[in-house]
Amino acid sequence: MNILSIESSTGRLSIAVSRDETLLSETADRSGAKHMVNIMGLMDHALRKANLTLKDMDIFGVNLGPGDFTGTRIGISVVKILSWLDKKPAFGINSLDVFALEICLRNSGFVIRCLSKNIPVMVMPCLDVRRGEVYFAFYDLIPESGSKDGFMASIEAAGRHYFIKKAGKNFLTHNDSLKDLINRLTKNEILKMPDAGGELKDLKILIGGNCYPVYSRVLTDITRQNSVFRVDKKTIFPRARNINICAYFNAKRMVKAVNLIPVYVREFIPFGNG
């Protein structure tokens, strides 16, 4: 299936075209200019690079946030129109999901080394949501022999397929409390998460996301004090290509495409407004 997705939840706008899991083209604007000015031109460029048209698209995808208030709404509005005009399904993907997949792919070498030694790996996308607060969640890598219910994407590592699946609830905490919260969750290097059930030990957790540039000192302190954690310093912007992958697996799992509604960490107070 042909997929077009828009990533407009940050200052870096990107648009990608894929066929199933294979990226055909991706265009990006890193100038930080207004997305409304550039979005249609970037979309046309991405389609031409892929030698396809909007009529060739089977599904659409977009980042629902949390993210920049105005940028996120622009991407959602455009995808809603494209979906309505062509009567094609559109999938909204949470920023945490997009970052979780990006962290796994960017750190594939580390992931493969751990999994080949039977060391469990989890991913912790961590977002700066302004007001000194941090928003994060944990994602598990489930072997293909395990339960596939609710997975958001899959990757190949150490000759096996692993499904990326959300584990437990989302966390919202002030950055001053992040270290204490992490230490409580991983006391004695055993991960205990509310609502996830059970305990995990002898594991590695990859922290990434746009939190690092703002709270690098806090995250570095966490890794120094707790060998469970490893920080990904480069995955600070989500990319449209990974929205495509999540949208593809949504379609493959026959997830029902629902109304595209922006995700905010605070009710009626989008953090992009400062």
pLDDT of res. 268: 42
Q: What is the mean pLDDT of residues 113-118?
A: 88
CA distances from 159 to 146, 155, 249 (A): 16, 10, 20
Cα(268)–Cα(165) distance, rounded to whole angstroms? 28
Model confidence pLDDT, tens digit, residues 121-180: 999 999 999 889 999 999 998 887 656 677 888 888 767 888 899 988 899 999 999 999
Contacts 24+ apart (CB under 8 A), 249-257: 249/151, 249/152, 249/153, 249/154, 250/91, 250/93, 250/152, 251/1, 251/58, 251/59, 251/89, 251/91, 253/151, 255/91, 257/59, 257/83, 257/89, 257/90, 257/91
Q: What is the pLDDT of residue 272?
A: 45
- Residue whose token pair is 């469970």: 228
Say yes or no to pLDDT of 197 above 90. no
CATH number of 2-95+237-273: 3.30.420.40
What is the reported pTM? 0.91
Every domain of the chain with CATH number 3.30.420.40 lies at 2-95+237-273
Least confident of 35-39, 57-61, 83-87: 35-39
d(C-alpha 193, C-alpha 198), whole Å: 8
The percentage of the chain sitting over the pLDDT mark of 70, rounded to a whole number, equals 93
Does 56 have pLDDT greater than 80?
yes
Whole-number pLDDT of residue 196: 57
